[in-house]
Amino acid sequence: MKVVVDGMGGDNAPYAIVEGAVQAQKEYGIEIVITGPEDLIQKELDKYDYDKSKISILHASEVIGTNEHPAMAIRRKKDSSINKALNLVKNGEADAIISAGSTGAFLTGATLIIGRIKGVLRPALAPIMPGKNGPFMLIDCGANVDCKPKNLEQFALMGKAYFETVMQVNNPSVGLINIGSEEEKGNELTKEAHKLLKEAPINFAGNVEPRDIPLGNVNVLVCDGFVGNTVLKTIEGVAGNIFSVLKEEIYSSFKTKIGGMLLKSVFSKFKKDYDYKEYGGAGFLGVKSICVKAHGSSDAKALKNAIRQAKVFYDNRVIETITEYIENSIADNDENIKAE
């Protein structure tokens, strides 16, 4: 397997990106290409002992920033690190791409350069989140702010495909994020999406209220990108605040410090379970190749785990399974139209 990494994407590029790539190569034995200014990337690589036959550099003279208009930047900056990486995948010279850079530019480039799976209306960003009773997928969490009911139905099918192949969950449950559990609750989008999901070939669990999201009782949670991104950032913020408050309280007195020491293993497990670095990145589901978006503030550990995520996609043939699900969905829809 060959993975291409956007060497200039993210807050900690290129040093954390290069370090994470070196770690991933050693641990997973895959071939890695890093895009970016050759002299800058090589300077970082020279800090490590690595297999020079497994890690190479593809020179790119430009960088797309997070404050640039995604579509315009992708079209104008042909020699950017993200553009070079995307074209490597498009041309079949790499099996997957990882970037911690601009989400908008990555999604735009993945859609325009690599292309969507036939029949997919919109690709979706789908991270795996930690839940009390098990991990769950949140789809979409920011790629599509405005959606139609059909988009949400496709998100559900793609999420199902991921959970069956990667998570090895047979007939995973799929829920629709809504303001109430009753079928008639919500806006026009959720009401119409609810009707479609009831008829879709999925294990539909109905509406899921926001307070029940962290439980992880439902495997795949479907929503538009506005709601999903709000949920994602709320969970990140709450988790971060809990860690901060606990730390302050533990160090507030000698007595609480002793208690903290006794509970150190519990806190360590809790932190690991809710650390985005452990999950690495979120897949863009619906594009023709493996695209993994790493967190913008990814360090080496997070980048390494994002590459691991890409390998999991590759080993479990996630793209092929999603393609099959969408093709079958289109065929079923055509049959229904003919019957009517």
Find the mean pLDDT for residues 280-298.
89
| Choice between 326 and 270, residue whose per-residue pLDDT is larger | 326
Please write the tens of the pLDDT for every residue from 49-58: 999 999 999 9
Question: Where does the pLDDT of residue 198 fall: very low under 50, low under 70, confident under 90, or very high at 90 and above?
Answer: very high
Element (H or E) spanning 43, and its range? helix 38-45
Q: What pLDDT shows up at residue 331?
A: 54
Q: What pLDDT shows up at residue 131?
A: 87
Find the mean pLDDT for residues 230-250.
81
Q: What pLDDT shows up at residue 250?
A: 78
Percent of the chain clearing pLDDT 90 (strictly above): 59
Q: What pLDDT shows up at residue 172?
A: 95
Find the mean pLDDT for residues 114-120.
91
Residue 44 has pLDDT above 60, yes or no: yes
* Assigned architecture for domain 1-120+286-340: 3-Layer(aba) Sandwich (3.40)
* Assigned architecture for domain 123-279: 3-Layer(aba) Sandwich (3.40)
Please write the tens of the pLDDT for every residue from 74-97: 999 999 999 999 999 999 999 999
Q: What pLDDT shows up at residue 262?
A: 72
The model carries a pTM of 0.84
Closest to 218 measured CA to CA, from 274, 298, 138: 138
Residue 176 has pLDDT above 60, yes or no: yes
* CB neighbour list of residue 271: distance below 8 Å, 6 or more residues apart: 243
Q: In the 8-state DSSP scheme, what is residue 212? A: G
Q: What pLDDT shows up at residue 315?
A: 93
Can you list the positions of beta strands (E) in the chain? 2-6, 31-36, 55-59, 96-99, 124-126, 128-129, 136-139, 173-177, 203-208, 220-222, 281-285, 290-294
User: Per mean pLDDT, which range of 20-34, 58-72, 79-93, 253-267 is the poorest?
Assistant: 253-267
Structure tokens at 335: 């049959």
Can you list the positions of beta strands (E) in 50-166? 55-59, 96-99, 124-126, 128-129, 136-139
CB 233 within 8 A of CB 193: no
Residue 130 has pLDDT above 80, yes or no: yes
Q: What pLDDT shows up at residue 330?
A: 63
Q: Where along the chain do its domains lie?
A: 1-120+286-340, 123-279
| Choice between 339 and 64, residue whose per-residue pLDDT is larger | 64
Kindly list the strands in the beta sheet with 96-99, ordered across the sheet, starting from the edge strand earlier in the chain: 55-59, 31-36, 2-6, 96-99, 290-294, 281-285, 124-126
Q: Which of 27-41, 153-167, 251-265 has the highest mean pLDDT?
A: 27-41
User: Per mean pLDDT, which range of 28-42, 178-192, 254-268, 315-329 is the poorest?
Assistant: 254-268
Cα 162 to Cα 170: distance, rounded to the nearest angstrom: 11
* CB neighbour list of residue 139: distance below 8 Å, 6 or more residues apart: 124, 125, 126, 155, 156, 158, 159, 220, 221, 222, 223, 228, 285
- Backbone region of residue 182 per phi and psi (left: phi > 0; alpha: psi in -120 to 50; beta: other values): beta
Place of tokens 């007195």: 253
**Mean per-residue pLDDT over the chain, rounded:** 88
Residue 153 has pLDDT above 90, yes or no: yes
Cα 57 to Cα 34: distance, rounded to the nearest angstrom: 5
Find the mean pLDDT for residues 159-175.
91
CB 165 within 8 A of CB 320: no
